[in-house]
């Protein structure tokens, strides 16, 4: 696994990744209509132009496995990531999170995850994140209110 700057061709992979229904259910907080390319392009265009957001492509064995983002706020950074389903349970996401945390040592770092996403909980807790709260929010993918756990790495 390696992290690298996002290349224009990566966006095709990211868009394809977000079409997976299982991944959308697992993430819970996804676009209202994941197949709307104009919304996707607008969202990614804004992220890639924002100087307070660092985005990396997760590459594994020469394939685009996903993306990882560190958004910098005044007093904390926020980590988020999306890994294609075919790379789940292989340590790819764990390695990507470790690499991103090493590249950007600013603390605290926060992350949020739907409460039943056990894999992401394990990744965060295994890197030293502690749960600091929980909220209820609407999940577009699940079309219901779900619990979202909030984590912080000091």
Residue-wise pLDDT for 141-152, tens only, equals 677 788 999 999
pLDDT(140) > 90: no
pLDDT(36) > 80: yes
**What value does the mean pLDDT take over residues 4-20?**
94
pTM for the model stands at 0.91
The boundaries of the domain holding residue 54 are: 2-110
Residue 66 and residue 82 in contact, taking contact as beta carbons nearer than 8 Å: yes
Structure tokens at 57: 């492509």
Residue 149 within a domain? no
Residue 78 and residue 113 in contact, taking contact as beta carbons nearer than 8 Å: no
Residue 80 within a domain? yes
Residue 96 within a domain? yes
The conformation of residue 88, written as its DSSP 8-state character, comes to: T
Of all residues in the chain, the percent with pLDDT exceeding 70 is: 92
pLDDT(42) > 90: yes
Give the domain CATH number at 40. 3.40.630.30
Residue 34 within a domain? yes
The conformation of residue 116, written as its DSSP 8-state character, comes to: T
- Cα of 149 vs its chain's centroid, Å: 14
Residue 131 within a domain? no
> Which band of pLDDT confidence, cut at 50, 70 and 90, is reported for residue 65?
very high
* Euclidean distance between CA atoms 154 and 147, whole angstroms: 23
Residue 139 within a domain? no
Counting the structural domains of the chain, the total is 1
Residue 147 within a domain? no
**What value does the mean pLDDT take over residues 40-50?**
95
Average pLDDT over the chain, rounded to an integer: 92
* Euclidean distance between CA atoms 102 and 38, whole angstroms: 33
**What value does the mean pLDDT take over residues 66-81?**
97
Q: Give the pLDDT of residue 28.
A: 60
Residue 3 and residue 96 in contact, taking contact as beta carbons nearer than 8 Å: yes
Residue 136 within a domain? no
């Amino acid at each position: 696994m390696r992290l690298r700057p996002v290349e224009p061709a990566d966006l095709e992979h990211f868009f394809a990744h977000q079409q997976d229904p299982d991944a959308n259910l697992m993430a819970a907080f996804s676009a209202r209509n994941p197949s709307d390319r104009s919304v996707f392009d607008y969202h990614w265009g804004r992220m890639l132009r924002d100087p307070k957001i660092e985005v990396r492509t997760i590459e594994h064995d020469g394939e685009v496995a996903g993306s990882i983002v560190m958004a910098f706020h005044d007093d904390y950074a926020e980590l988020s990531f999306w890994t294609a389903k075919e790379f789940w349970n292989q340590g790819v996401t764990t390695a990507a999170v470790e690499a991103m945390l090493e590249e950007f040592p600013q603390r605290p770092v926060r992350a949020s995850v739907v409460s039943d996403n056990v894999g992401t909980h394990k990744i965060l807790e295994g890197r030293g994140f502690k749960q600091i709260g929980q909220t209820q929010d609407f999940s577009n993918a699940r079309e219901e209110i779900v619990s979202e756990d909030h984590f912080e790495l000091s």
